[in-house]
C-alpha cells in the first residue's frame, strides 16, 4: 500500500500549521530554486505532481499558464486546494502519482515539488512522466538531497559537548532504498537514491539534463531563520531540470 501520511490527522495539522507560518525551508530554499528553473509559464499546460494544497498550481495560472492539472494522493490536500486555490483553469485529481492515468493528454511542463522521494519505483515514474510530456517538454523536480537522506538515522549533525555542530555524518550513501523517519509522527517513509541514479535514469529514458541546483537560502530566509546558514555546509534539497528529447 502506498503511504498517505497526510491523512494522519496529527501529521496534517502540524504540516499545515508549518506551511501557513511562511517561515519554512520550502519558502526560503526549495520554492525559490524550483521557480528559478522554469523557462516560462506563459500559455503552457502544466502537470503538478504532488500538488498539495494547490499554491503552486495557482502560481502557475497567475504567471500565465493556460491550464494546470494538480495531482495528489491526499484527499485532505485536494479538498483544501479546491477551497483555497480553485480556478477554472485548474483541475485537481486525488490519486497516487503512480496510478495516475491521463489518456490522450500531453503537457508542456511537468513539475514535482518534494514528492518524488515518496515514490518507490523511480524508473517507472520517469517512464510515465516521459509519456505525458510533449516533445521538448520540460520536467523539473525537487527532492530531498541524497546527502540528507543517505543515513537511516534522522539527526545526523555531529556536535561537540556544547551543542555546536561540527560536521554532517554521511553513511550508507550507495545503499539505495527505503528510509523510515519521525516527522511529527513515527513511520514516515521516503526512498533514498544517489545523485547518479536521479540523473542517469532521466538520461536513460530520453531526457537531457539542463540544470542542477543545490540551493541555499534567499537573503530574507537567513534573516528570519538564521539556522539556514547551515545549507552552506549540507544541502537539504536538489532541483533537477530536464527536457524530453524526442
Residue 164's pLDDT is what?
A: 92
Q: Which residue has 498550481 as its cell numbers?
A: 57
Q: Count the domains in the chain.
A: 1
> What CA–CA distance (Å, rounded) separates 117 from 105?
25
Residue 6's pLDDT is what?
A: 84
Residue 169's pLDDT is what?
A: 94
Sign of CA dihedral 31, 11, 177, 121: negative
> Domain containing 192 — which CATH number?
3.40.50.150
> pLDDT by residue for the chain (246 residues), tens digit each?
578 888 888 888 999 999 999 999 999 999 999 999 999 999 999 999 999 999 999 999 999 999 999 999 999 999 999 999 999 999 999 999 999 999 899 999 999 999 999 999 999 999 999 999 999 999 999 999 999 999 987 778 999 999 999 999 999 999 999 999 888 888 889 999 999 999 999 999 999 999 999 999 999 999 999 999 999 999 999 999 999 998
Instruction: Give me the domain span that covers residue 82.
Output: 5-244
Residue 1's pLDDT is what?
A: 54
Amino acid at each position: 500500500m502506498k503511504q498517505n501520511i497526510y491523512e494522519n490527522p496529527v501529521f496534517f495539522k502540524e504540516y499545515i500549521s508549518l506551511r501557513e507560518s511562511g517561515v519554512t525551508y520550502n519558502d526560503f530554499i526549495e520554492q525559490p530554486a524550483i521557480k528559478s528553473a522554469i523557462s516560462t509559464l506563459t500559455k503552457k499546460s502544466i502537470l503538478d505532481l504532488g500538488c498539495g494544497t494547490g499554491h503552486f498550481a495557482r502560481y502557475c495560472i497567475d504567471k500565465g499558464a493556460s491550464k494546470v492539472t494538480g495531482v495528489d494522493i491526499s484527499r485532505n490536500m485536494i479538498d483544501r486546494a479546491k477551497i483555497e486555490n480553485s480556478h477554472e483553469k485548474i483541475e485537481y485529481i486525488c490519486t497516487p502519482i503512480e496510478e495516475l492515468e491521463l489518456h490522450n493528454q500531453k503537457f508542456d511542463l511537468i513539475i514535482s515539488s518534494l514528492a518524488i522521494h515518496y515514490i518507490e519505483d523511480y524508473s517507472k515514474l520517469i517512464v510515465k512522466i516521459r509519456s505525458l510530456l510533449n516533445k521538448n517538454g520540460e520536467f523539473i523536480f525537487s527532492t530531498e538531497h541524497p546527502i540528507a537522506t543517505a543515513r537511516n538515522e534522522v539527526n545526523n549533525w555531529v556536535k561537540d559537548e556544547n551543542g555546536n555542530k561540527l560536521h554532517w555524518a554521511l553513511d550508507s550513501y550507495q545503499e539505495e532504498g527505503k528510509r523510515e523517519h519521525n516527522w511529527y509522527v513515527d513511520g514516515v517513509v521516503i526512498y533514498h537514491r544517489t545523485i547518479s541514479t536521479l540523473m542517469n535514469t532521466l538520461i536513460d529514458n530520453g531526457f537531457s539534463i539542463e540544470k542542477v541546483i543545490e540551493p541555499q537560502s534567499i537573503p530574507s530566509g537567513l534573516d528570519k531563520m538564521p539556522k539556514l546558514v547551515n545549507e552552506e555546509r549540507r544541502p537539504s534539497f536538489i532541483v533537477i531540470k530536464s527536457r524530453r528529447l524526442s
